[in-house]
Amino acid sequence: MRNPEKPNKVIGLMNCEEFELRGLDLDRLDLDPIEAESAAEHARICTNCGALLESWREVKSDLRLLREATRKDSAPARVEVRLKQELRTRREARVPLGTVAISAWALAVAAVLIATVSWIGWQRTRHQETSTQKTTPASAPTQNAERPDATVSQASTASTPQADPTKRSDTAHFAGSSAVSKGAVAKDEDSGKFTLLPGSLLSETEETAIVRVRMQRGALGTLGLPVNEERAGEWIQVDLLVGNDGLPQAVRLAR
Amino acid sequence: MKILDEKSDALLKRAARGDELAFLALYQKHQSPLYRYALRMTGSPWAAEEIVQEVFLLLIREPHKYQSERGELGAFLFGVARNRVMKHLEKTPRELSLDVMNSDGSTWREPEDPLTPMIIVEKAERIERVRDAVLGLPAEFREAVVLCELEEMSYEEAANACGCPIGTIRSRLHRGRALLLAKLELLRDVPRRAAAGGK
């Protein structure tokens, strides 16, 4: 036996407007059971909403047919083929990550090295320019005697096995800083000027090195200088101003 | 098959390294629902095919775009497909495809049951009718109908897929249903509740 209060209660809970909003969810699993009961009751009592539900169920059955008919639909095989092709192409084109990392590091190290070398070169040039400005050149050969310290030092020690660095303080100074080198040059100027060898053309921009050698006076003749035959066998020390090409450009007697 | 049991994340990592089997496992798992959704939304097998292809090309080319902490791979792929579908619909608004062919060129498949030819023809007509009616809905209502009625998603799942509140999905579905009812009743010459669509 039905509860006489129930229809009114249910209709009170869900009117036609609410039924249109939620009543068609009647067959859905996610509809609240209480709402489902109210909707079913309303559809049973209200003719219009009952017809709506019936009509919707027909549409639902059509939708179900469509769903069943298209359930097995899937992308055609050619899509899979294209995607596989793309995957293979990318795999073949891919460079191993390790190689990329190593290359990147190598490039970075090379860049740092280049930057360091450039900076050192720039510092040297700047230092040289500063030294040039501080020194008042007495003559062209003396000017040319101003050169990078390291070069002078290396050239001096490498090329003059007979050289005696302790004998003259200025020789030792060549291995020191540029300021010291400048002092040494000044002393050399005191001790004597360089004499250009015949045929040599020294330019101011050319880098030179002073090489102290011990030789017989007669050997000066080979450099194109006049020699006193009587003293040709005498041992002397000379400073040779050597140019970039490794040839002596000027000479002076050392004490 | 063991590979199908693997989690999508693991498969995707392997696929990103170029593992073809892992990629195919992912493809087989997800392509069909994506294709059906795209087909039902666009009504064009060619467009659906293109959309599915674009979705998986994205997975090949930019697998990092999927972040597992933000949701399932399936939801991500659906989101991508949905964007593509919406772009397609923007380009070709209200395009109604009357194409009854499947993407492979065949006609609609009928269930293999012992039906009389008359019943088969009638069923095919009903399917075509409802298909056209769905395609005739505005995109947002169509999407709600496709997801909730054809793909049988819950409101919550559909809301997640569309990135909108559940209330919005319910509202769109209500409107979609009303329009669908009106269209189909008019087609069937039984305008019992045609007015409901206009509310």
Residue pLDDT, tens place only, A129-141: 877 776 645 444 4
| A80/B36 touch (CB, cutoff 8 Å), yes or no | no
Residues A144 and A215 in one domain: yes
Q: Tell whether B90 and B144 lie within a shared domain.
A: no
A255 reaches B (C-beta below 8 A): no
| B58/B125 same-domain check | no
Whether the CB of B94 is below 8 Å from some CB of chain A: the reply is no
For residues B166-178, give the mean pLDDT.
Answer: 91
Choose among A51, A67, A94: nearest Cβ to B150: A67
Range of the domain at A213: 138-254
Question: Residue A228: its pLDDT value, please?
Answer: 83
Q: Which two tokens stand for residue A218?
A: 């007669």
User: In the listed set B64, B81, B98, which residue is the last one of a domain according to the structure?
Assistant: B98
A13 with A38, same domain: the answer is yes
CB contact under 8 A, A55 and B126: no
Interface test mutation site (partner A, options B24, B26, B55, B60, max chain A beta carbons within 10 A): B60
Q: Give the residue from A70, A91, A122 where a domain finishes.
A: A70
The pLDDT of residue A149 is above 70:
no
CA-wise closest residue to B161 among B80, B86, B93: B80
**Of B3-7, B21-25, B43-47, the least confident:** B3-7
- Contact state of A59 with B130 under an 8 Å Cβ cutoff: yes
Hey, which residues 73-92 in chain B have their CB within 8 Å of chain A? none
Evaluate whether residue A75 is within a structural domain.
Answer: no
* pLDDT mean over A16-27: 82
**Do B130 and B198 have their domain in common?**
yes
CB pair distance less than 8 Å for B60 and A90: yes
Query: HEC string of chain B?
Result: CHHHHCCHHHHHHHHHCCCHHHHHHHHHHHHHHHHHHHHHHHCCHHHHHHHHHHHHHHHHHCHHHCCHHHCCHHHHHHHHHHHHHHHHHHHCCCCCCCCCECCCCCECCCCCCCCCHHHHHHHHHHHHHHHHHHHCCCHHHHHHHHHHHHCCCCHHHHHHHHCCCHHHHHHHHHHHHHHHHHHHHHHHCCCCCHHHHHC
For position A154, what pLDDT does the model report?
Answer: 42
Give the separation between CA B190 and CA A209, rounded to whole angstroms: 113
Same domain, B6 and B88: yes
- B10 and B86 part of one domain: yes
Which residues fall within 8 angstroms of residue A122, CB to CB, at 6 or more apart?
none
Q: Residues A246-251: what's their mean pLDDT?
A: 85
Residues of A in contact with B123 (CB under 8 A): 65
Cα–Cα distance, B102 to A39 (Å, whole number): 39
d(CA A12, CA A18): 11
Q: Please give the helix or strand (H or E) that residue A241 lies within, else none.
A: strand A235-242
DSSP at A27: G
Identify which of A14-23, A190-199, B119-128, B175-184 has the greatest average pLDDT. B175-184
Residues B140 and B137: their CA atoms lie apart, in Å, by 8
Sole residue written with tokens 């330019």 = A203
User: Average pLDDT for residues B30-59, to the nearest whole number?
Assistant: 92
What's the sign of the alpha-carbon dihedral B14, B15, B20, B22? positive
Nearest to B23 among A55, A79, A87 (CB): A87
CA distance A253 to B12: 84
Rounded percentage of chain A residues whose pLDDT exceeds 70: 68
Is residue A25 included in any domain, yes or no?
yes
Percent of chain B topping pLDDT 90: 29
Q: How many domains does chain A have?
A: 3
Q: Which pLDDT value is given to residue B15?
A: 85
Number of domains in chain B: 2
The verdict on A70 touching B (C-beta cutoff 8 Å) is yes
Closest Cα in chain B to A66 = B127
pLDDT digits (tens, 9 = 90+) for A80-117: 999 988 888 887 776 666 777 888 899 999 999 999 99
Confidence of residue B189 (pLDDT cuts 50, 70, 90): low
Question: Could you report the per-residue pLDDT of B95-154, keeping only the tens digit for each?
Answer: 445 444 555 555 445 455 556 777 778 888 888 888 889 999 999 999 999 999 888 888
A50 and A62 together in one domain: yes
**Domain-embedded: residue A174:** yes
Residue B71 and residue B113 share a domain: no
List CB contacts (< 8 A) between B53 and chain A.
Answer: 75, 79, 82-83
Give the A:B interface size as CB pairs under 8 Å.
Answer: 123
Could you tell me if B13 and B94 lie in one domain?
yes
Please state the rounded mean pLDDT for residues A21-27. Answer: 81
CA A24 to chain centre: 67
Checking ipTM against 0.85, whether it exceeds it is: no
Same domain, A115 and A177: no
Would the pLDDT of A17 be above 50?
yes
Say whether both B12 and B61 belong to one domain.
yes
Q: Give how far B130 is from chain A: nearest CA, Å.
A: 6
**Inter-chain touch A59–B110, beta carbons under 8 Å:** no
Q: How far is A77 from chain B (nearest CA, A)?
A: 9
B99 to chain A: which residues are within 8 Å by CB?
A: none
Q: Residue A35 in contact with residue A14, Cβ under 8 Å?
A: yes
What does the pLDDT average to over A39-57?
87
Shared domain check, B156 and B65: no
Per-residue pLDDT reduced to its tens digit, A150-208: 444 444 443 444 444 433 434 333 333 333 344 444 344 445 788 888 877 777 667 78
pLDDT, chain B, mean: 80
Same domain, B35 and B128: no
Q: Is the pTM of this model over 0.80?
A: no
Percent of chain A with pLDDT over 90: 7
The segment with the largest mean pLDDT, out of A66-70, B98-102, B195-199, is A66-70
Judged by CB atoms closer than 8 Å, whether chains meet at A20 and B181 is answered as no
**Which two tokens mark A35?**
């709402």
Answer yes or no: do A167 and A235 share one domain.
yes
Answer yes or no: is A78 within a domain.
Answer: no
Residue B93 binned pLDDT confidence (cut-offs 50, 70, 90): low
Contact A154, A160 (CB under 8 A): no
Domain that holds residue B185: 107-199
Mean pLDDT of A36-45: 86
